[in-house]
Chains A and B, each alone.
Chain A
Amino acid sequence: MAKAPLHPESLVERYGPNPNYTPSGGWQKGSEAPPDHLVKTHCCFCGQQCGIQLKVRDNRVVGFEPWDEFPFNQGKLCPKGVKRYMQNEHPDRLLGPLMRASNGDFRAAPWDEALDFTAKSLRAIQEKHGKDAVAIYGGASLTSEKSYLLGKFARVALGTRHIDYNGRLCMVSAGTAYKMAFGVDRSPNPWSDIPKAQVVLVTGANVAECAPITTDYLWRMRDNGGKLIVIDPRMTPITRNADMYLPVRPGTDVALMMGLLHVVIRDGLTRPQFIADHTVGFAEVEASVREWNPRQTAELTGVPPEVIEKAARLFGGAERAIALHARGIEHQSKGVENVLSLINLCLATGNIAREGAGCMMITGQGNGQGGREHGQKCDQLPGQRSISDPAAREHVAKVWGITPEEMPQAGLSAMEIMEAIHRGEIKGLLSICFNPLVSLPDSTYIREALEKLEFFGVVDFFLSETAHHADVVLAGSLQEEEEGITCTAEGRVVHIQQAVTPPEGARNDWAIYCDLAKRLGKEKFFPYKAPREIFDELREASRGGPADYYGITYEKIDRNLGVFWPCPTEDHPGTPRLFEGGQFFHKDGKAKFIVAEYRASGDPVTEEHPIYLTTGRVVSHYLSGTQTRRIGALVDQYPEPRLEIHPRLAEAHGIANEDWVKVTTKRHQMTIQALVVKTIRPDTVFIPYHWAGLKSANQLTHRTLDPRSKIPEFKVSACRIEKTVAPPGWSKTAKTPGRSQHAPKRELRVIQ
Chain B
Amino acid sequence: MFGRQFFIDPSRCIGCESCVNACAECDNHRGESMIHLDFIDRRQTTATVPFVCMHCDDPTCAQVCPADAIKKTDDGIVQSSLKPRCIACSNCVLACPFGIPKVMVRQEQMMKCDMCYDRTSVGKKPMCATVCPSQALSYVSLEEITRGRREKPTNVFYFGKQRVTTKVYMMVPGTVDAMSVDVVDYIWEDKA
Contact = CB atoms under 8 A, between A and B. Distances in A.
A241 B12 contact: yes
Given A240-B46, A745-B105, A747-B105, 19 more contacts: A27-B30, A30-B30, A73-B133, A75-B125, A75-B131, A79-B18, A79-B21, A81-B131, A82-B21, A82-B131, A212-B14, A212-B18, A219-B12, A223-B150, A237-B15, A678-B45, A679-B45, A737-B15, A738-B42
A529 interface: no
Nearest to B125: A75
A744 B43 contact: no
* Those 4 A-B pairs whose CB atoms lie nearest each other, nearest first: A223-B148, A27-B31, A208-B14, A738-B39
A444 interface: no
A219 B22 CA distance: 22
A737 B30 contact: no
A677 B42 contact: yes
A386 to B, nearest CB: 37
Interface string A56-75: 00000001101010000101
B162 to A, nearest CB: 22
A680 B188 CA distance: 33
B60 interface: no
Interface string A637-656: 10000000001000000000
20 contacts: A28-B30, A63-B25, A73-B133, A75-B131, A76-B131, A82-B131, A208-B14, A208-B15, A212-B18, A213-B133, A219-B135, A223-B149, A224-B148, A235-B45, A237-B14, A619-B15, A619-B17, A739-B36, A742-B37, A744-B102
A344 to B, nearest CB: 31
Nearest to B33: A742
Interface of A: 21-22, 27-28, 30-31, 63-64, 66, 68, 73, 75-79, 81-83, 208-209, 212-213, 215-216, 219-220, 223-224, 235-241, 619-620, 633, 637, 647, 657, 675-679, 736-739, 742-747
Contacts of A78: 16, 18, 133
A743 B25 CA distance: 17
A694 to B, nearest CB: 24
Contacts of B28: 31
Contacts of A647: 43
A215 B35 CA distance: 21
B182 interface: no
A68 B119 CA distance: 13
Contacts of A677: 42-44
Contacts of B30: 27-28, 30-31
Contacts of B133: 73, 76-78, 212-213, 215-216
Contacts of A739: 36-38, 99
Interface string B106-127: 0000000000000000000101
Contacts of B64: none
B12 to A, nearest CB: 6
B171 to A, nearest CB: 12
Nearest to B134: A215
Contacts of B20: 79, 742
A239 to B, nearest CB: 7
Contacts of A22: 31
B32 interface: yes
A465 to B, nearest CB: 26
Interface residues of B, number: 47
A342 B21 CA distance: 37
A657 B18 contact: no
A236 B28 CA distance: 35
B134 A212 contact: yes
A22 B20 CA distance: 16
B134 A633 contact: no
A738 B22 contact: no
A411 to B, nearest CB: 39
Nearest to A73: B133
> Of B17, B27, B45, B99, which is in contact with the most chain A CB atoms at under 10 Å from its CB?
B17
B16 A30 contact: no
Interface in B133-161: 133-135, 148-150
A50 to B, nearest CB: 9
Contacts of B25: 63-64, 82
Contacts of A237: 13-15, 46, 48
Contact of B27 (A31, A238, A620): A31
A284 B28 CA distance: 65
B27 A30 contact: yes
Contact of B135 (A68, A216, A675, A743): A216
A240 B11 contact: yes
A220 B102 CA distance: 34
Contact of B16 (A235, A241, A619): A619
Contact of A678 (B12, B44, B125, B130): B44
B132 interface: yes
Contacts of B37: 738-739, 742
B184 to A, nearest CB: 25
B103 interface: yes
Contacts of B178: none
A235 B14 CA distance: 12
A68 B130 CA distance: 8
A676 B33 CA distance: 29
B33 A216 contact: no
A219 B134 contact: yes
A208 B133 CA distance: 9
Contacts of A208: 14-16, 134
Contacts of B11: 240-241
Interface string B77-121: 000000000000000000000010011110000000000000000
B17 A79 contact: yes
A743 B35 CA distance: 10
B47 interface: yes
Contacts of A77: 18, 22, 131, 133
B9 to A, nearest CB: 9
A209 B16 contact: yes
A66 B131 contact: yes
Contacts of A744: 32, 102-105
B24 interface: yes
Contacts of A746: 105
Contacts of B131: 66, 75-77, 81-82
A212 B16 contact: yes
A739 B44 CA distance: 17
A216 B24 contact: no
A216 B134 contact: yes
Nearest to B28: A31
Contacts of A745: 105
Nearest to A620: B17
A240 B47 contact: yes
A362 to B, nearest CB: 14
A742 B99 CA distance: 13
Contacts of B42: 675, 677, 736-738
A81 to B, nearest CB: 8
Nearest to A675: B42
Given A216-B133, A744-B32, A736 B45 contact: no
